[in-house]
Amino acid sequence: MIRAYAALEKGGELKPFEYDPKPLGSEDVEIDVEYCGICHSDLSMLHNDWGITQYPFVPGHEVVGKIADVGSAVKKLQVGQRVGLGWYSRSCMTCEWCMSGNHNLCATAEGTIVGRYGGFADKVRAHEAWVAPLPDAMQPVSAGPLFCGGITVFNPIVQFDVKPTDRVGVIGIGGLGHMALRFLHAWGCDVSAFSSSADKEAEAREMGANHFINSRDSNALKSVEGSFDLILSTVNVDLDWSTYIACLRPKGRLHFVGVVPNPISTEIFPLIMAQRSISGSPLGSPATVTQMLDFATRHQIEPIIETFSFDQVNEALEHLRSGKARYRIVLKH
């Protein structure tokens, strides 16, 4: 039996829960969970904000641990190896997207906490393709958030061929945004942080921002119109998106990795006349995850974390819900 923490109803308190995982699949691995990050998506799923949650619900998709068992056909992983697991736990491996290396775009890709039990547990399972070996030089306690928040902001850098000479803005200096600043700074970009919290300026600059823009200051926003090749939105709130589109250079892109609650509305002429675009992306493919881990290790990039023990899971979730997390929360056994 696998011991976990589960909510039995929408928004419910997480309580001890056990389940029988059944025989291990031939291409699957079982991970002894050492650490598991808490992501805002865990909260969204807990409250069924996206209408896809099944109860009992076991959150957790930023897992770091050691391989406890492997299926008979597993080739690349070994018992005892330290690994990480993120949002996806499996994909079909046969469709156009999987076969072209874009496994994260597979129409039937399985979420680690969607229709199955996640990593707030002593063990979790996944297909070997989605389980990534952790570099020896990487600290396991802080690595978990890289497998969701980290790859979410790293993937657009690769997908859009962001150049070291590009000027990039990051909206929101939170769980996603602070990692975006670190990655983009190490990439060589001229990085600006947009935040409604003026007291975050010193922290944002320490994380890699060359410039800080108070998004509540209309004059500050006006001063950077036509400035950015890419603006990355990491927030989950509605903003005046036309203001940020105006900050793009010709051929600039406003890219969403944070899930905003309402449809995005803007006039079309600012897009057409300057050939600007609006886009979004999910997490990255297994190959991009490996690339991110290598880059993070080389540049000593790690999330800023707070730790709680697994038996403090409800306290940790409330800490995130109240907006107090600085900047990612990690549960540890």
pLDDT of residue 161: 97
Q: What is the pLDDT, as a whole number, of residue 228?
A: 98
Residues 188, 128: contact at Cβ < 8 Å?
no
Query: What is the model's pLDDT at position 172?
Result: 96
Residue 311's SS3 state is: helix
pLDDT in the model for residue 137: 96
- Going by the DSSP 8-state scheme, the letter that residue 310 receives in this structure is G
Q: By C-alpha distance, which of 233, 194, 258, 241 is closest to 44?
A: 258
Rounded Cα gap, residues 272 and 157, in angstroms: 24
Contact 170, 177 (CB under 8 A): yes
% of residues, the chain, pLDDT over 90: 98
Tell me what the mean pLDDT of segment 7-24 comes to.
Answer: 97
Spell out where 140-217 has E strands.
167-171, 190-195, 211-214
Say what the pLDDT of residue 71 is: 98
Neighbours of 151 (CB within 10 A): 28
pLDDT of residue 41: 95
Give the pLDDT confidence score for residue 208 in this predicted structure: 96
Express each pLDDT in 175-205 by its tens digit: 999 999 999 999 999 999 999 999 999 999 9
Q: Contact, 83 vs 35, CB < 8 A?
A: no
Provide the residue type at 273 as one letter: M
Residue 311 tokens read as 């038996």
pTM confidence score: 0.96
Please state whether beta strands 88-90 and 110-111 pair in parallel, antiparallel, or not at all (unpaired): antiparallel
CA gap 234, 120 in Å, rounded? 24
Give the number of other Cβ atoms within 10 Å of residue 130's Cβ.
26
| Measured distance CA(242)–CA(172) in Å, rounded | 17
Burial of residue 47 (number of CB atoms within 10 Å: 0-12, 13-18, 19+):
middle
Long-range contacts of 189-194 (CB under 8 A, 24+ apart): 189/162, 189/163, 189/164, 189/165, 190/166, 192/167, 192/168, 192/224, 192/227, 192/228, 193/169, 194/169, 194/170, 194/231, 194/244
Average pLDDT, the chain: 97
Please give the single-letter amino acid code of residue 119: G
For 246-255, what is the mean pLDDT? 98
User: Rounded to an integer, what distance in angstroms lies between the CA atom of residue 150 and that of residue 289?
Assistant: 9
DSSP-derived 3-state class of residue 4: strand
247 close to 225: Cβ distance less than 8 angstroms: yes
Supply the angle between the helices 286-298 and 177-187 in degrees, to the nearest 10.
70
Q: Which of 38, 180, 173 is nearest to 113 (CA)?
A: 38
